[in-house]
């Protein structure tokens, strides 16, 4: 099970830490968020080091569908209701600036970058599309209603954002990571008052950024309550005509579509990690119905951190940790969110004010409906009798027969059948019985 991106590029290799290190900023996590943080700090002349427990982009980044857009589903009507028009406008502007930053960087490298309009469509609910258009108008952005889409099924219409983008994320990372101070195969074992201890030595740092997808420190921030994880599934179909755009269904379990050359990426089948789902059966059934003549050439799954209110957590890890920062909870929109996070955190660690920081503050209210759901899942699985338990917080693991893994319904850690760690927030393998 390998993604299209992983099969198309060889990433540069970096040595493991081989001595004690002293830097101004330590970045933990070598996915696109951590690497963009390092890139931004490097441009600013900040002494930094990035450590990755495995190889760079060995986690979530390689499994993205790689859409660079500030159209995050029908989100803006929801943001206005939750936070007001001003915060919703700032959310859009932060992600629009992220898109512009990608446009600038990708103009100098070969990473398959191309501009495409983005559409969020509805099969049967035109009114919800009109509500989103009204919300966007209220915050000062002009989107369009689109009908007559080149999709193989009828729709009620779509909200269209012009001049969004797509790219090959690993080709992008291969280019921007060169020259950065990165240490691979360097796992952080614990944080200290002035840095971190790794498997290979000590790292002294004035400030630390946790860019580990799901935050791994439970003592601060309550991320074990504020976040949960979802699986989603992608197939790539060969020899499909160009759809000329990026498409996502407004429905919770709908289908997303976008082309990469003559290959069509079909995404769907999402469910909470550790719960039963239809997995690849959803995009495969779609392909069988609408593209029966096409061959599945790639098949992979993604894992996404979901926040309580639809907005990522970017900023100080908690009120009690002034020199410790975090970026997580990207809600399936990791490309623009990672760039926005890198720009915000680079400003914060260098003492600059960033006007978007309040929107993403991890210390904002957690009084959301999803909090009760997360707490219920945690309590239920902590009380479940099971011989397989997650080392993160002790929840009972569930066997995922489709992906042949042990998955945690509480916080999304995953392990191979033999107990080797696949995804965090757990930081080590299962103990042998």
- Can you tell me which residue has the tokens 């797509």? 166
Residue 239 pLDDT grade (very low, low, confident, very high; cuts 50, 70, 90): confident
206 Cα distance to chain centroid? 27
Q: Taking the alpha carbons of 116, 120, 126, 130 in that order, is the dihedral positive or negative?
A: negative
Q: Which two tokens stand for residue 429?
A: 């393998």
Strand partners, 423: 414
Q: Which two tokens stand for residue 159?
A: 């909200």
Residue 433: pLDDT over 80 = no
**Which segment, 147-151, 277-281, 423-427, is predicted with the most confidence on average?**
147-151
Domain 228-306 has CATH 3.30.70: yes
Residue 79 burial by CB count (10 A; 0-12/13-18/19+): exposed, middle or buried?
buried
Percent of the chain with pLDDT over 70: 100
Answer whether 64's CB lies under 8 Å from 302's CB: yes
Residue 201 pLDDT grade (very low, low, confident, very high; cuts 50, 70, 90): very high
| Average pLDDT of span 185-194 | 91
- Predicted confidence at residue 85, as pLDDT, reads 98
| Average pLDDT of span 42-49 | 95
Residue 126 pLDDT grade (very low, low, confident, very high; cuts 50, 70, 90): very high
- Predicted confidence at residue 378, as pLDDT, reads 83
Give all strands of the β-sheet with 414-416 in edge-to-edge order.
Answer: 398-400, 405-407, 414-416, 421-423
Residue 188 pLDDT grade (very low, low, confident, very high; cuts 50, 70, 90): very high
369-423 — its CATH code?
A: 2.102.10.10
Residue 170 pLDDT grade (very low, low, confident, very high; cuts 50, 70, 90): very high
Where do you find CATH 3.30.70 in the chain? 228-306
- Predicted confidence at residue 432, as pLDDT, reads 64
Question: Between these two residues, 277 and 361, which has the higher pLDDT value?
Answer: 361
| Average pLDDT of span 357-381 | 91
Residue 111: pLDDT over 90 = yes
- Cα separations (Å) of 392 from 38, 95, 220, 222, 318? 27, 32, 15, 13, 20
**Can you tell me the distance from the alpha carbon of 296 to that of 238, in angstroms, rounded to the nearest whole number?**
6
Beta pairing class for 201-210 and 324-328: parallel
Strand partners, 41: none
Residue 361: pLDDT over 80 = yes
Full 3-state SS string of the chain: CCCCCCCCCCCCCCCCCCCCEEEEEEEECCCHHHHHHHHHHHHCCCCEEEECCCCCCCCCHHHCCCEECCCCCCCHHHHHHHHCHHHHHHHHHHHHHHHHHHHHHHCCCCCCCEEEEEEEEECCCHHHHHHHHHHHHHCCCCCEEECCCCCCCCCCEEEEEEEEEECCHHHHHHHHCCCCCEECCCCEEEEECCEEEECCEEEEEEEEEECCCCCCCCCCCCHHHHCEEEEEEEEEEECCCCCCCEEEECCCCCCEEEEECCEEEEEEEEEECCCCCCCCHHHHHHHHHHCCCCCEEEEEEEEEEECCCCCCEEEECCCCCCCEEEEECCCCCHHHHHHHHHHHHHHHHCCCCCCCHHHHCCCCCCCCHHHHHHHHHHHHHHHCCCCCECCCCCCECEEECCCCEEECCCCCCEEECCCCEEECCCCCCCCCC
Return all residues near 241 (Cβ < 8 A) that are at least 6 apart: none
- Predicted confidence at residue 129, as pLDDT, reads 97
Residue 210: pLDDT over 60 = yes
pLDDT tens-place string over residues 374-410:
888 888 888 887 778 898 988 899 998 888 899 999 9
pLDDT tens-place string over residues 296-336:
999 999 999 999 999 999 999 999 999 999 999 999 999 99
Q: Which is nearest to 4 in space by CA: 62, 68, 67, 69?
A: 62
| Average pLDDT of span 131-140 | 98
Residue 7 pLDDT grade (very low, low, confident, very high; cuts 50, 70, 90): confident
- Predicted confidence at residue 404, as pLDDT, reads 87
Q: Which is nearest to 37 in space by CA: 320, 361, 337?
A: 337
Residue 280 has phi, psi (to 5 degrees) of -70, -10
Q: Which residues of 351-384 are buried (b: 16+ CB within 10 A; e: fewer)?
A: eeebebbebbebebeeebebbeebeebbeebeee
Where do you find CATH 2.102.10.10 in the chain? 369-423
| Average pLDDT of span 210-238 | 93
21-64+171-224+309-360 — its CATH code?
A: 3.50.50.60
């Amino acid at each position: 099970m390998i993604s299209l991106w992983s099969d198309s590029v060889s990433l540069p290799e970096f040595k493991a830490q081989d001595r004690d290190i002293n830097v101004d900023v330590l970045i933990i996590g070598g996915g696109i968020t951590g690497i963009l943080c390092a890139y931004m700090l490097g441009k600013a002349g900040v002494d930094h080091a990035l450590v990755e427990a495995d190889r760079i982009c060995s986690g979530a980044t390689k499994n993205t569908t790689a859409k660079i857009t500030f159209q995050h589903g029908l989100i803006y009507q929801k943001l206005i209701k939750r936070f007001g028009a001003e915060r919703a406008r700032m959310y859009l502007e932060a992600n629009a600036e992220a898109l512009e930053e990608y446009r600038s960087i990708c103009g100098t490298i070969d990473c398959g970058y191309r501009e495409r309009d983005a559409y969020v469509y509805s099969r049967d609910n035109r009114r919800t599309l009109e509500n989103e258009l009204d919300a966007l108008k209220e915050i000062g952005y002009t989107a369009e209603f689109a009908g007559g889409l080149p999709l193989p099924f009828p729709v009620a219409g779509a909200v269209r954002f012009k001049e969004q983008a797509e790219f090959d994320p690993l080709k992008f990372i291969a280019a921007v990571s060169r020259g950065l101070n990165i240490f691979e195969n360097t796992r952080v074992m614990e944080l200290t008052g002035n840095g971190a201890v790794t498997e290979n030595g000590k790292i002294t740092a004035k400030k630390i950024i946790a860019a580990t997808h799901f935050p791994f420190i439970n003592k601060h921030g309550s991320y074990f309550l504020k976040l949960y994880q979802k699986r989603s599934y992608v197939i790539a179909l060969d020899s499909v005509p160009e759809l000329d755009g990026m498409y996502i269904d407004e429905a919770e379990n709908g289908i997303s579509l976008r082309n990469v050359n003559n290959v069509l990426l079909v995404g769907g089948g999402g469910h909470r990690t550790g719960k039963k789902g239809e997995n690849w059966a959803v995009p495969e059934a779609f392909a069988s119905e609408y593209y029966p003549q096409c061959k599945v050439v790639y098949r992979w799954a993604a894992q996404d951190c979901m926040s309580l209110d639809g907005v990522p957590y970017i900023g100080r890890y908690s009120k009690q940790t002034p020199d410790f920062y975090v970026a997580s909870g990207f809600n399936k929109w990791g490309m623009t969110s990672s760039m926005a996070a890198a720009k915000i955190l680079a400003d914060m660690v260098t003492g600059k004010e960033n006007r978007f920081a309040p929107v993403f503050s991890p210390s904002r209210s957690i009084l959301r409906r999803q909090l009760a759901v997360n707490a219920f899942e945690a309590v239920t699985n902590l009380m479940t009798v099971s011989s397989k338990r997650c080392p993160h917080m002790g929840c009972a693991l569930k066997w995922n027969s489709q992906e042949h893994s042990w998955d945690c319904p509480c916080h999304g850690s995953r392990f191979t059948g033999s107990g080797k760690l696949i995804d965090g927030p757990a930081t080590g393998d299962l103990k042998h019985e």
